[in-house]
Structure formats: structure tokens, C-alpha cells
Chains A and B, each alone.
Chain A
Amino acid sequence: MISMRGGLQVGASYALLLVLIIGFGHAVVDQDPFWGFMALMGLFAALLPVALSRDLRNILPWWFVLLIALPSIEALLGVLLATHYTRLTDAAFWIGDIASIFMISLALMLTVRAYSSAKMNRPFLVGSTFILFEVFIGAYCVIDYNFDLLTGSNLITSNADFMIYALASSIGAVVLTLLLNYYLRLGDFEEFQRMTVGRRATI
């Protein structure tokens, strides 16, 4: 039976999915294909444990979905408050971006570990999360570049524009990877997995 607290938390996760859906809609209207794609990936990562376990309660925890939805929240706040880009908002957006991409990568790797026949120990999972993060950074370049080609937009203004973003994000991802590794090393890894994707490893 779901406790009130557990029910509220699951409800909060589903409420945050709405933010991701609105974020996807905003990305479509704003013609921002990469963040539209990432909003879909966020939805996919959050709902994959639900689909695999056929249990609605196994959605990612609210704080996990919140981190995934940060770029959508920032984009929506930008619309609501009609704020303009400043150095400060740029930095906040960037932190939100890397946190979101990293958490989507982590959610997907945890789900693979929990629901497939693949066995992974902590260092392997943490390393794979970083690797998947870099794949999304690569996808950002490919998606936005091709969108610019097709529509004549100017999402990536130059090679340096993308490379500096990639470098800065990768440095951020290295920091997050080390923090995650340290956090999982201190705590109970299996419990963390159960708490996030709702199932202990099959091993």
C-alpha cells in the first residue's frame, strides 16, 4: 500500500512530467530541436522504469525528475518573467543543462542495470553515465547543426561556440561523475537504485 508521503512524492513526479511535456512544447514553438529531444528523453527516462515494471509507482523520484526538468523550468520561467539573457542567467542555464543531461544519462544507465541482464558494478555504471553524457553532447552538435542547415536558423553560431559549450559541459560532467562516484561509494548503491528506478539489480 502506498503511504500518503509516498503517494505525494509519486504525484510530484507525475506533476513534473507535465513540466517536461510543456518544456517539449516550448522547445517546438521556440524551434529548439535539441532541448525538445532532451525533454522527450527526460520523459522516456522517467517513464521507462514504470513501463518495464508495469507499476505506476516506479516513476523516478520527484527530485530526480526536477533535475531532469531544469532546462524546461528555466525556459518556462524565462517566458513567464520575460527575462533577457544575462551572464547570470547564462550560467544558471548552463548548470541546469548539464545537471539535466547528466541525470537523464544516470537514469538510463540505472534502468539498464536494474531491468536488463547486464551486470554493472559502481565504477562501471558511473563511467558509463559519463560516456552517455558525452554522447548527448555529440547529439547536440549533430541535431542543432542539421536543423540550422535545414531551416537557416543560427542555433550554433560557430565551431568555437559549440566546442566551448562542449568543453565546459564536459568539465562539469567530470565533477558530477566524481561526486556521484563518491556519493554511491559512501552509501548503499543497491538502495539508491531501488529508490530511483524502483528495483534492485537482478544479480
Chain B
Amino acid sequence: MRRAPFLITAAFSLIFLLMLNISLTEGDSYAYSTELISLMIIWIPPFLSRRGVIDLPWPIIFLIAFSLFLNALGLLTLWYYSTAWWDKLTHFVSGIMVATFVTMALLVIMENSKTIRIPPKWMVFFIFISVVAFEVIWEMFEFTMDSTVGTNMQHSLQDTANDILSNFINGLLVGVVMAYYLKGHTLKDFVKGLHVERTVAWFRRNLIEMPPSESMSDK
């Protein structure tokens, strides 16, 4: 395993274990279950890397761990309830993470598809709509969880509207930054570094390749 991703994962694992210990002592079930899930999630990238699915760059691994940390910290310290901007901060960071994933997915698709090509100026639009759509779907997930499991993820209409609005803004910001970054970098090098060959081959084999009659309308 590469050194930087491992160090990041190990460091955040220690932090989550420490937070888990505090939450267990305080008996806050929502906080400790979140920390436990976060602890499991941060080990997914190393697991995927080991299985040859994808090698995420270390800044993205850091971003995943950091956004999970901010979420867990907000629950542990109750800053979600006492600090008005905490929720905005976590949504902003996770918005950047979603935008990064969307960009990566688009790049991998473009590099491996002859029928999809998104020029950098249109990347702004596609990243923007993907970030906002993900936020809306996330809000629906929160509402469903609150209604069925009884969690307290969504606080009010004001909270929902502000979260969506903040993602409108950071979707646009990240879209512009990503498009600017892509102008100066080649697709091939970036995608090559992800080592997604096996994953792309799997998608091709199971999802994309179709009988000749259907592939005509796929163009």
C-alpha cells in the first residue's frame, strides 16, 4: 500500500477511536454509531486499492476522512446544534468531496468511452448539476432516515433550504476550479494514476457492452 494514504487512514483511525471512546463513555448512541461507521468508511479506499479497484490520490482520501471527521466532531461537541455555521461547513467540505468524485468519474468515463466527451467549459455545468442533485438526494435520504429510523439529521426547512443553497454556490465554485485545473492537465495521466483498469473492464463486461443491435442506439 502507498505510504501517504496509509498514514492518513491510520491517523484518522486513531482520532475516530478516541472520539468513539468519549461517545461511548457519554452514552451518545447517535455519535458513537456515526464514529463507528466513519471508521469503517475511511478503510474503504485502502481496501479498494488492495483489491485493484481504484487507487485514490491522497488528497481525496484526506478529504473523505476530513469531512467524516467534521461530521463526527459536530455530533460529539454538539456544534451542529449550538453553532449555526457548523452545518454549512460540513456541507461545504462534503460538497467539494462530491464534486471531486463527480469529476473523477467523468474523467474515467471520458477516457474510456468513445461516445462521451465533455470539454472543460462544460465540466463546470456537469459538476454543478451533479453536486446540487446529490445534495437534494442527500436531503431526501436524511428526511427518510428521520422519518423511519428516528435520527435527527434534518433540523428545519431553513436548514434544508440553506444546505441546498450552499451547494448551489460550492458546486459552481468547485466546477470552475476543476474546469480550470483540467485545462492545464492531460486526462490520460490523471486517469492512469487511479489504476482503474480492472474496474473499467468489469463495467465494460457487465454493464456497458450490449448486443450489436442495441449498441447502434447507444451512439
Contacts and interface: CB of A to CB of B under 8 A. Distances in A.
A180 interface: no
Which 8 residue pairs spanning A and B have beta carbons closest together? A134-B133, A121-B115, A145-B161, A119-B117, A163-B143, A159-B157, A138-B136, A131-B133
Interface residues of A, number: 40
A186 to B, nearest CB: 8
Contact of A131 (B117, B119, B130): B130
A188 B136 CA distance: 32
Where chain B touches its partner, the secondary structure class is helix
B112 interface: no
Interface in A157-190: 158-163, 166-167, 170, 184-190
B164 A141 contact: yes
Given A142-B165, A185-B214, 19 more contacts: A117-B119, A117-B122, A118-B122, A121-B115, A132-B129, A135-B129, A138-B136, A138-B168, A141-B160, A142-B161, A142-B168, A145-B161, A146-B161, A158-B157, A162-B157, A163-B139, A163-B160, A166-B136, A186-B217
Contacts of B122: 112, 116-118
B154 A159 contact: yes
B116 A121 contact: yes
B157 A156 contact: yes
A75 interface: no
A124 interface: yes
B143 A159 contact: yes
B140 interface: yes
A190 B132 CA distance: 29
Contact of B161 (A137, A141, A203): A141
A159 B160 contact: yes
Contacts of A141: 136, 160-161, 164
A22 interface: no
Interface of B: 109, 113, 115-119, 122, 125-126, 129-130, 132-133, 135-137, 139-140, 143-144, 154, 156-161, 164-165, 167-168, 214, 217-219
B143 to A, nearest CB: 4
A134 B119 contact: no
Contacts of B165: 142, 146
Contact of A135 (B136, B157, B158): B136
Given A163-B160, A189-B217, A135 B132 contact: yes
B139 A166 contact: yes
25 contacts: A116-B122, A117-B117, A118-B117, A118-B118, A118-B122, A119-B116, A124-B116, A134-B132, A141-B161, A142-B161, A142-B168, A145-B157, A146-B165, A159-B157, A161-B157, A162-B160, A163-B139, A163-B154, A170-B136, A185-B217, A187-B217, A189-B217, A189-B218, A189-B219, A203-B117
Given A119-B116, A120-B116, A162-B157, A131 B129 contact: yes
Residue with the greatest number of chain B CB neighbours at <10 A, chosen from A159, A160, A161: A159
